[in-house]
Structure 1
Amino acid sequence: MARAAVGWGVRDLAKKAGVAVDTVSRLERGEELLPRTVSALRSTLESAGVIFIDQNGNGPGVRLRDRQP
């Protein structure tokens, strides 16, 4: 959801985070990745404006940061 929210494809996120395309695919399939890899992906998405929302009864989610005019 986070990748789609910023309009990136798998290749875009992989390049920006400095990881392999297959690594992004593995994350999206729910496979376990090294913590440093997850951190790199998360920080890349957060830099693009994604806010990760903790579990709140309906499951975790994402939203985009409000853009300031």
Structure 2
Amino acid sequence: MSISSEQSRAARGLLNWSQGKLSEAAGVARATIAEFEGGKRRPIANNLAAIRAALESAGVEFINGTGVKLRT
């Protein structure tokens, strides 16, 4: 399942993560995060999957393709 740029920003907000922190956790360039969240481009599939996996590993749940929450 894919995630939106809005979900990425919201998830980072829940975790209090910077784009740099997400970049490190996902193993992708910070520019990739910035361009994705800024709506400039969609990352290639493996980078998008790495972003999602990093956020999920930190406790974020993606809700019905539209929202995010922290796992309880």
TM-score, normalised with respect to structure 2: 0.80
Unmatched runs of 5 consecutive residues or more in structure 1: none
Q: How far 1:2 moved relative to its partner?
A: 0.6
Aligned residues: 62
Q: How far 1:63 moved relative to its partner?
A: 0.3
1:65 pairs, out of 65, 68, 71, with: 71
Task: Tell me which stretches of 4 or more aligned residues in structure 1 moved more than 4 Å.
Answer: none
Q: Which structure exhibits the higher relative contact order, with contacts defined as CA atoms closer than 8 Å and separated by 6 or more residues?
A: 2
TM-score, normalised with respect to structure 1: 0.84
What corresponds to 1:25 in structure 2?
A: 34
Report the identity percentage. 40
Instruction: Kindly report which structure 2 residues correspond to 1:1-69, keeping only aligned pairs within 5 A, or say none.
Output: 1-30=10-39, 31-55=41-65, 60-66=66-72
Q: How far 1:10 moved relative to its partner?
A: 0.6
Amino acid at match of 1:28: E
Amino acid at match of 2:64: D
Q: How far 1:28 moved relative to its partner?
A: 0.6
Per residue, is there more helix in 1 or in 2? Answer: 2
Unmatched runs of 5 consecutive residues or more in structure 2: 1-9
Q: Which has the larger radius of gyration?
A: 1
Q: How far 1:32 moved relative to its partner?
A: 1.3
